[in-house]
Amino acid sequence: MSKSTERSAQRINLTNQFLIAMPGMADPTFAGTVVYMCEHNERGALGLVINRPTDIDLKSLFDRIDLSLEIEPLQHLPVYFGGPVQTERGFVLHDPTQQHYTSSISIPGGLEMTTSKDVLEAVAHGEGPSRFLLTLGHAGWGAGQLEDEISRNGWLTVEAAPAVLFDTPAEKRFEAALSLLGISMAMLSGEAGHA
């Protein structure tokens, strides 16, 4: 890698961005996904897929971890596939709260990501974040890996919009994320060099 390429790779920071999979995405795990980037630095990147609901709802998950979730509207919310890394672990992407959870990171741009059970306990008691998305697993990239995928046209990037995360149905998040760039699915081609 040349010095100028190395410097430009160091300057890119995709924290609080959406990664939108291009039609030619070779990895079926990420085909058609939108990933919210929680962390991106010289050591690598961590993100959560936000548009792949699983067949597990919050009530089922809470039952599995011995928490009682009695709040009716929350019981049926889906748990999402967050990515192929640590699929047995929960990741909660949420609005900032006054509460301090055991294991949270503040994401520049206003959101927080919590991995400790205390956020779920707060949700169960009606004291949790007002808006949240719960995933099992996350997406992870080693140093330079994500930059390489972007350079090979694997992903489009755009600044994240909380409305896409929290106010848009899962099946419409891909198109909603694309619209932040002013484009639609019809404008994307799966093959290079063809319009």
- Residues forming a β-bridge with 9: none
Identity (one letter) of the amino acid at 166?
F
Please give the average per-residue pLDDT across 75-81, as a whole number. 96
pLDDT value of residue 190: 53
What is the phi/psi pair of residue 134, to 5°?
Answer: -110, 125
The closest alpha carbon to 35, from 47, 45, 27, 46, belongs to 47
Report which of 124, 122, 105 is spatially closest to residue 114, judged by C-alpha positions: 105
SS3 (DSSP) at 102 = coil
The pTM score is: 0.89
Could you identify the residue written with the tokens 């929350």?
74
With bands split at pLDDT 50, 70 and 90, how would you rate the model's confidence at 189? low
Q: Are 85 and 136 in contact (CB under 8 A)?
A: no
- Quote the mean pLDDT of the chain: 89
Q: Would the pLDDT of 6 be above 70?
A: no
Q: What is the DSSP letter of 33?
A: -
CA dihedral 27, 149, 158, 116 (to 10 degrees): 70
In this predicted structure, the answer to whether residue 193 has a pLDDT above a threshold of 80 is: no
Q: What domains can you pick out in the chain, each with its CATH number?
A: 3-187 (3.40.1740.10)
State the DSSP code for 77.
P
For the chain, report the end-to-end CA distance as a whole number of angstroms: 32
pLDDT digits (tens, 9 = 90+) for 97-123: 888 899 999 998 889 999 999 999 999
pLDDT tops 60 at residue 4: no
What per-residue confidence (pLDDT) applies to 3? Answer: 45
Task: Check residues 181 and 5 and name the one with the higher pLDDT.
Answer: 181
Two structure tokens written together for 113: 């990501």
**18 Cα distance to chain centroid:** 8
Bridge-based pairing state of the strands 78-81 and 132-142: parallel
What does the alpha-carbon distance between residue 23 and residue 186 come to, in Å, rounded to a whole number?
11
Predicted pLDDT of residue 62: 94
Contacting residues for 29 by C-beta, under 8 A, at least 6 apart: 83, 84
Q: Which band of pLDDT confidence, cut at 50, 70 and 90, is reported for residue 24?
A: confident
pLDDT of 140 strictly over 60: yes
Residue 149 in tokens = 């995928």
Distance, CA of 174 to CA of 145 (rounded, Å): 23
Residue 192 has pLDDT above 70, yes or no: no
Over residues 157-185, the pLDDT tens digits come to 999 999 999 999 999 999 999 999 999 88
What are the backbone angles phi and psi of residue 44, rounded to the nearest 5°? 145, -155
